[in-house]
Structure 1
Amino acid sequence: MMYKPLSEIRPGKELWKIKARVTRLWDAILLSSGELLSVDMILIDEEGTMVHGVINKAVMEKFKSLIQENNVYVISNVKVTPATKTYRPVENDKVVNFLTTTTMQKIKDIDEIPRYSFKFFNTDMLSKRINNDTYLSDVIGVASYIGPVEETKTQFGVSKIRDIVLLIDDQEIKVRLWNSKVDLVDAKSKSHVIVITSTTVKKFGKYSLSSTNATQVFIDLPIPEAMDVQNSICSIENVTKEIHTEGHLKGTLEEQMQYNRRTLEELNLILFDSSNEEKIFTVEATINAVNAKYGWYYISCSEDNCKKQLDKNYDHYFCKKCNKKAHPKTRYKIKIEISDSTASATSVLFDKEAQMLINESADFLISSINQDNMELPKSVEKICGQKLIFQFRLTEYNFRSCRPDYTVSRLFLPDVKSNPRIRTENVKEKKP
C-alpha cells in the first residue's frame, strides 16, 4: 500500500500508511501524579501538513525506544481519530494513533520534508487566543529577560517555575515555564532569538503565556522567521535591559568584515567544540554551485513583518501566521555550496542577501522567465564563482547536528570600496 499524504487521512475504521518526520516529541505527563500517559509528537510530511501523533500507554513499550525526534519514518497501520476539543498542539482536527499492529521503519532523511514548522502568533493575533484553549500557541521573539528557577505552590504540590520575557513586535510578553521546561533555557539564552511552542494564553493587564506538556524551546533556529527577528535586533534600542552593541556591529566596515575571521575548516571544527561561546564568524569563500534540487525560492506572505511561507488553498493563498488570506510574494531561498582552500560547506541565502548578489527581486525574476522551464535561471547561476565574505551566526541546530550547513546573516565583497555591503539601489523589482 502506498503511503497517504497527511492531508488525506481521515477518521474511521481504515488503517493508514504515512511517511513523515517527527518534528517534535514529548512526554504527556499527568500533573497530579507525574504519571506518564503517552508519548506525543508532531508529524510533518512533504506537503508541510502537520498532525498530532500519540503513542498511548498500551503500546508505549513497543515504540518509545524506536522513535526519535527529527527522524523520517514510514509508519503503517495507524488509526486516525478526531482531535480533542482542547489543547491541540497544531491546527488540525485529526490525531494519528499508534496501535499494537502499527509498524515503523526509519528511512533516509530527505530535504523535501521540512525539519521545522510553526504557526507564530504576533501580539495582535494573541488576543484571539486569550482564555481560548482549543489550540496552543507558538511564539518567537528576542529573550530580553531570563529569570531564575523558583518554586511555587499549586493544587498539585510544589512546582518549579522560570519566568522569561520575549520581545515580540516591540512588546514585552511574559512566558512562564513550568517544571521540566525550566531547564530548556538558561542565563546564556538572553538576547537570543527564541521559539516557544504550544503555550496557553492569558491576559492580566499584559499577556501572560504558560508552557504545557507539549512546549518545546528552540534557540536561534535556521529559519526565515528567526533571521528576520535577528536582523531586527540592530534597529531596536532596548532589546534587553542592559544590551550593548554586539561586537560584530562595532567598528568600521572593514573591521566588521574581519570579525572572528576563520577558515571553513576552522569553522567546521568549532561545531564539535562544546566549550565555544562565540556564535558569529566571518569566512572568505567562493560560491561553487547552486543546489537547485529543492528550488531557489519560496512563496511567502507579502507583509514585511511576516514573510511566512504560504499554504495554497484552492484558489487563494493563506498565511498561518497572519491567520488570513494573503497576497503572495516570491522570496529567495537559495542553497549554495561554498569552499575555500581548507574545506567546503553548504549554506542558505535568504531573500535580502540573495537579492544583493542577483540585483533582481525574486518576484521580478519569476515574472520574466518561463515558469514551465525547470532550469535554474541564468541570473541565479551567475552568482557561482564569486568570492565573498560571509557572516554566519551559528545556531543550536549547527551545534546539535554538527553539520557544516550555515545560514548567511550578512554578505560583504572582499573589496571594501565595493561595499556598502553590496549595491542594492538598482535592484529590479516586479512592476505592480
Structure 2
Amino acid sequence: MLESKLSSLTHGGQRCYIVVRILRLWDCIIPPVHAFLGIDFLAVDSEGFAMNGFIPPEIADLFRSLLQEGNIYGISIFEVGPRKKKKHLAVPSDDIIYFNISINIQRMVDEPLTFPYYYFSFVCFDELIRRNEHIFHLTDLIGILEGVTEAYSFVLANNKGTVYRRGLFILLQRTAYQESPRYPYYGSSISLLRHSDIEISKGSIHQDTHETTIASLTLMNPTLIKVEPSTLVGLKFKVIARVIRLQHEAGWYYHSCNNCTSGIKRICPGIYTCGFHGPTPPRMNLRVSLIIEHNDIKLQTIVFGDLAYRLTGLNLTILSLAERMNFKKIPAVAEQIIGREYEFLLVLLNHYYAHPMTFKILRFLPLHADSSF
C-alpha cells in the first residue's frame, strides 16, 4: 500500500495510507439539547496541507482513546467525501476524511520534524466583518483579549432554546499584515516645507473668514431672527471663547464607513452598510460635543476626528476597555480643556429650525499660557 498526501485524495474509499498529525480534536455538540453528533478533528500532513476529519457518533467511543492531539498517525482504509451540510469546520475545505469501523490506525513513534504543530488562517478585522454566520467554516483570530463577560443566558433564533454564552472583547488588527518600506524604496530624501514656502491658495477652505463674537453668532440664530438657515451655511467665523462643559449625553464617538467619513447604517449584528460604498467594516471616529462661552454667552459646538484628538487628548488606542465601552461618558483625559481659552474657527453644522444651532470646529488655536503649541 502506497502513501498519499492529503492534497491528492479523491472521493470514495482510499487504496492508500496517509501519515498525519492530529492538530485539534473535539466533540461536535448542538445546543441547547446537547445532542452529540460525533468527533471532529483537524489533520495536517508533512506538506502542511490540512483537512477536516469526522468520526460518526456510532463509532466515536471506539476511537476516542486511540487519538490524541499532537500525535502523528498512519491511517488506512478510510473514506473521503463531500462535507454536504456539515458546518463549523476548522478549515474552508469541501472534502472531509470519514472514519469507518474498518479503519486502521497506527501511532508513529518516531515523529518526523516536518509535520506542523499548528495550522491557523488568521483574519484581520476588515475580513472578519465581511464574514457572517452563513459560512460553513470557523474563523481563526489573533489579538489581545481585553475582557470576558460573565456567562449569561441567550435565547437562540426562532425560540430554539436558551443557552449560556460569554462575551469576549478582543483587540484585532484592522487590516491584513503587509510588509511595506518605511521610506520610499528608491531612497529619495523627504523635503520639509516651511510656512513661508507655501503660497496661500485662493481656494483655501479658511478664506473669507468673518471675525466675530459668540454673542453675534447667537443673534444670527435662524430660530431667533427668522431668516433662511441656508444663508448661514458655509460661512466661517473666528471667535475667542473658553470651554466650559463637555456634553457627555451626546456621546463621544460615532461609527463611519471605512472608506470615507460618512455615517453607516447597522443592518444586523456585525453588518454595516455605507450609502456610498455599500457593506463596510465600521470605523470608530471621535465626535465630542462641548459648550464654549465668552462674556457669559454660550454656544454649542462639536469637533470630529483627528482635530478632536488634538483638542481633547482622547487617544482611542490607549483608552481602557471600560472607557471605550461607555459611550455616554467622555473619558476623563478630555476634562483638561475645561476652563481653557482658544481661538476657534467655526462653521454652521446644522440648520434646522427645530434644533439648537450647532457649530463645527474647523481649527483651534490655544491661548492659555501653559499651551505647548
Give TM-score, length-normalised by structure 1.
0.40
Pair member with larger Rg: 2
